[in-house]
Structure 1
Amino acid sequence: MNLTFWSDFNCPNSYIGLKRITDAARELDLDYELNMKPFELYPTLFDSPTSSMTTEYVLKYGITPQKAQELISEIEDIAVHDGLKINYKDLQISSSRNAHRLVKYVKNNHPEVSNDIIFKIYEANFMENEVIADIDVLTKISVCLGLDEDEIRNMLSGDFYDFEVQLDEEEAISMGVEAIPLYIVSIKQEQLTIPGAYEKEYFKIALEDMINGEIESKTFL
C-alpha cells in the first residue's frame, strides 16, 4: 500500500489519523510506504516556540481559556483511545519546516527508516514536547534511527529540500486542499482520496474494499 498524505507535525489530528490508518493496514497484513507531504499550519512561525496551546486556542477561536482547555483535553482523550498518550496542552509549537525537510531527505537517501522518522518526530513533538524546529532535536531523532550525526546536522544547517517542501505546499494549494490530514491511498490499481482522520475501523473498511476491488460500490466514502 502506498500512502501519500498532506499533514503537519503540529497537527494532532494528523498524528491520530496516521496512527489509525497504519494500524488498519497492519491489521490487514498490508505493507505500507509513507509519502508525507507538508501542509504547514504555522508557515510564518520562527524557530522559537510560541506561547501555550491554551493561548493559541483563545486567539484562534475567540473562546475563553476554560473552553480552550476543555477542547485540548478532548483531543488528548481521543488520542489516548488510539494508544497515543499525547501531552497537547504543553506542546511547544514551532516551525515544522526543518522537520519536513528532514523527512524528504531521509525518504530519498535512507528509505529504510523513512516511515519510522515520521512517527519519531510526531512523538518528540506531542509526547516529549520537544521543539521540533531545533536542529539538535531532529539530529538526535535521526541518530536514534542509526543515521550519521554529521550528515544530518550538515543537511539541516543548510537549505536542502526547502524548495521541495515549497513545491508540495504549492501542489496542495493547486489541488484545493484546505484542511488536513488528507490521504491518497493506492493499492494495486485502486486509488482513494480520504479527507480527514476517520476511525480506524472505517479506514479498515475502505482498505478492505480496495483490496477486494469493491471500492466504488461498497466503501463508506
Structure 2
Amino acid sequence: MRVDIWSDIVCPFCYIGKKRLEAVAADMGVELEIHWHSFQLDPEAPISQSVSNSVRLAEKYNRTVEEVEEMQANIAKMALEEGIVFNWEKANSGNTFNAHRIIHLAQSKGLGSEAKEAFFYSYMTQGLPVGERETIEDVASRIGLNPVEVDDVLDGDEFADFVRFDEEMAREQLNVTAVPFFVFDQRIALAGAQPRDVFKQVIERALEAPAAPSTPESDTPQ
C-alpha cells in the first residue's frame, strides 16, 4: 500500500505517527510503500538554536517555560508508549531544509524510511543539532549514503526543488497546516498522529475502497 507522508524531523508527533502506522501495518500484514515529503515547521529557523527548546517554544506560543516543559513531558510519555525515548530537555532544534534534501537523496536510493528514522532519533533521542552539517553527515553515513554524494548535495542546490515542491503541494493543494499528514493510496487523507485504531480503520478502508480520484479525500474515522 502506498502511503505519502508529509512531516518534519523536529516534530515529535511525526515520529509518534510513523511508529503507530508501522506497528498497525505490521499487525495487519500490510506492506507499506512509503513516500516521504518535506514540510518545514519553521522555514526561517537558524541552523541551530541559541536557547533551549523550552524557552524557544514558550516565546513562540506565548506560554510560560513551565507550561511548555509540562507539555513536552506529556509528549515524551506518549512517545515512550511507541518505543521512542524523547529527551526533550536536550533536543536541539534548527533549520531542517538540508536534512530534508538528504532524505530525498536517500529516498532516491530506497533508503527514505531509514533516513527519516535516523534523523528523528538524532534529534529526539540523541539531542543532536539536526540543522548542522556535522549531524547531517553523521546521519547520512549511518544509513550508508555515499559521503561524496552527500557533500555534493550539501555544497549545491540538488533536491532543493523537491523540498519546495513538497511544501507547495502541501499548502496549496492539500491545505496542510500541520504535520504529520498521511495520504493512503493517493486518495484517503489523515491528519495527525492518530491512535492506532484510527490508522487501522483507514488502512482497512483503503484496502476495501475502489480506485478513486487523484485528489485525496479527507478521512477521519469516528
- Do 2:39 and 2:167's aligned partners in 1 also have CA atoms closer than 8 Å? yes
Pairing of 1:60-99 with structure 2 (within 5 A) = 60-99=60-99
How big is each residue's C-alpha offset from its partner over 1:62-104, in whole Å with a ceiling of 9 and x where there is no partner? 2222111111101111101111111123211111001110111
Give the equivalent residue in structure 2 for 1:161: 159
Give the equivalent residue in structure 2 for 1:2: 2
TM-aligned CA distance change 1:50 to 1:5, over 3 Å:
farther
How big is each residue's C-alpha offset from its partner over 1:143-163, in whole Å with a ceiling of 9 and x where there is no partner? 222222222122222221112
Pairing of 1:2-151 with structure 2 (within 5 A) = 2-108=2-108, 110-111=109-110, 113-151=111-149
TM-aligned CA distance change 1:205 to 1:173, over 3 Å:
closer
Q: Does 1:205 align with 2:201?
A: yes
Alignment TM-score, normalising by the size of structure 2: 0.89
Counterparts of 2:167 and 2:187, CA distance in 1: 21
The one-letter code matched in structure 2 to 1:178 is: T
Counterparts of 2:41 and 2:205, CA distance in 1: 32
The one-letter code matched in structure 2 to 1:71 is: M
5+ residue gaps in structure 1? none
Q: Structure 1 residues 65-74 or 205-214, which shifts more?
A: 205-214
Counterparts of 2:191 and 2:155, CA distance in 1: 34
TM-aligned CA distance change 1:174 to 1:210, over 3 Å:
same
How big is each residue's C-alpha offset from its partner over 1:127-185, in whole Å with a ceiling of 9 and x where there is no partner? 11111122222222222222222221222222211122111111122122111111001
5+ residue gaps in structure 2? 211-216
How far apart are 1:50 and its partner, in Å?
Answer: 4.1
- Do 2:49 and 2:92's aligned partners in 1 also have CA atoms closer than 8 Å? yes
Structure with more helix by fraction: 1
How far apart are 1:209 and its partner, in Å?
Answer: 3.1
How big is each residue's C-alpha offset from its partner over 1:12-37, in whole Å with a ceiling of 9 and x where there is no partner? 11111111111111111222122121
RMSD over aligned Cα atoms: 2.0
Give the equivalent residue in structure 2 for 1:184: 183
Give the equivalent residue in structure 1 for 2:221: 220
- Do 1:4 and 1:37's aligned partners in 2 also have CA atoms closer than 8 Å? yes
- Do 1:135 and 1:157's aligned partners in 2 also have CA atoms closer than 8 Å? no
Q: Secondary structure at the match of 2:184?
A: strand
Counterparts of 2:22 and 2:126, CA distance in 1: 22
The one-letter code matched in structure 1 to 2:183 is: I
The one-letter code matched in structure 2 to 1:145 is: I
How far apart are 1:124 and its partner, in Å?
Answer: 0.6
